[in-house]
């Protein structure tokens, strides 16, 4: 793991409920500056629910989430917007607007910011698209792009405000192996080159094994974390067999 172990996100006793159903119960974790943390677990275990609480889309039934030391659950709308400007999110589906060009989609987070001239916006969009190998595609519409290109375009949009933290929800979902590998390379390059703290929710074992500095596994029945550590640590004796079966199935020993 690179960088000092300085937490940029702290989840403290997080309980998530929908109606009378408790999905997560008293979850605690820290995300450290500059690391790639992968959150894994079976379908319906609460991975995406945890992510949505970490970015402030859902408020916890109990506990709190601190981003940069600020409690996003108790933040007012103005402060929450300031916090979110330091966060980029790539959801499972690219969520590009089909009626807008790729450049217009990438520029969306810049709307409403004061003092940015149109030529500056255009320069930022070109730079971000170049970072994801989509230079020259500003005027293409999403329907004219492949699935992998749309996903990379959505990544450019997530990066347009130079966030300190990037969240990915199933980033390689729906991609063929070549496009998935290209996206993995981009994520690792952004993390290494910019020092971005990265949180990835995924059930794709290969992506996790290629990218993770640290892994946590959430279990549906436990309603929380059953294992946490680096890949090397999680191969050691005594680790919950459910994690080993998920991540290391088929390995010798």
Are 124 and 114 in a shared domain?
yes
Residues 199 and 212 in one domain: yes
Backbone angles phi, psi at 212, to 5 degrees: -70, 130
Does residue 71 sit in the same domain as residue 139? no
CATH at 188? 3.40.50.300
One domain, residues 170 and 225: yes
| pLDDT score for 203 | 87
Write out pLDDT tens, residues 151-197: 999 999 999 999 999 999 989 888 888 988 999 999 999 999 999 99
Q: In this predicted structure, what is the pLDDT of residue 2?
A: 46
The domain boundary residue, chosen from 137, 162, 187: 162
Using alpha carbons, select from 219, 170, 238 the residue that is nearest to residue 27. Answer: 219
Query: Of 162, 191, 225, at which residue does a domain stop?
Result: 162
Tell me the torsion sign for CA atoms 56, 57, 59, 60. negative
Q: Is 58 found in the same domain as 148?
A: no
- Of 162, 182, 209, the position where a domain reaches its end is 162
What's the pLDDT score for residue 3? 45
Beta strands in 72-176 (DSSP E): 87-90, 165-169
User: Are residues 70 and 171 located together in one domain of the fold?
Assistant: yes
CA distance linking residue 228 with residue 246, whole number of Å: 13
pLDDT of 253 reads 46
pLDDT under 50 in the chain at which residues?
1-3, 253
| Cβ-Cβ contacts under 8 Å for 102 (sequence gap 6 or more) | 96, 129, 134, 137, 138, 139, 140, 141, 142, 145, 153
Spell 66-99 as b/e; 16+ CB within 10 A means b: bbeeeebbebeeeebeebbeebbbbbbebebeee
Q: Which domain holds residue 122?
A: 91-162
Q: How many domains does the chain have?
A: 2
157 and 169 part of one domain: no
Whether the predicted model's global pTM rises above the 0.75 cut: yes
Nearest Cα to Cα of residue 52 among 86, 92, 13:
92
Cross-strand bridge partners of residue 37: 199, 214
């Amino acid at each position: 793991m690179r960088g000092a172990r300085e937490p940029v996100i702290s989840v403290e006793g997080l309980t998530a409920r929908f109606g009378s159903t408790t999905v997560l119960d008293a979850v605690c974790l820290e995300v450290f500056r500059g690391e790639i943390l992968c959150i894994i677990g079976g379908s319906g275990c609460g991975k995406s629910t945890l992510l949505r609480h970490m970015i402030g889309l859902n408020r916890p039934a109990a506990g709190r989430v601190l981003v940069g030391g600020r409690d996003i659950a108790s933040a007012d709308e103005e402060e929450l917007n300031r916090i979110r400007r330091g966060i980029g999110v790539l959801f499972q589906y690219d969520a590009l607007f089909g009626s807008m060009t790729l450049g217009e989609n990438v520029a969306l987070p810049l709307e409403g910011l004061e003092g940015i001239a149109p030529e500056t916006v255009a320069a930022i969009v070109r730079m971000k698209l170049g970072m994801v190998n989509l230079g020259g595609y500003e005027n293409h519409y999403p329907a004219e792009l492949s699935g992998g290109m749309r996903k990379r375009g959505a990544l450019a949009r997530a990066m347009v405000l130079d966030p300190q933290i990037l969240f990915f929800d199933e980033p390689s979902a729906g991609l063929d192996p070549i496009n998935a590998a290209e996206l993995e390379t981009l994520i690792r390059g952004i993390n290494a080159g910019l020092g971005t703290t990265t949180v990835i929710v995924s059930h794709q074992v290969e992506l996790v094994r290629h990218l993770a500095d640290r892994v946590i596994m959430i279990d549906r029945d436990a309603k929380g974390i059953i294992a946490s550590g680096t890949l090397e640590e999680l191969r050691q004796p005594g680790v919950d067999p459910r994690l080993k079966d998920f991540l290391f199935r088929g390995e010798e020993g």
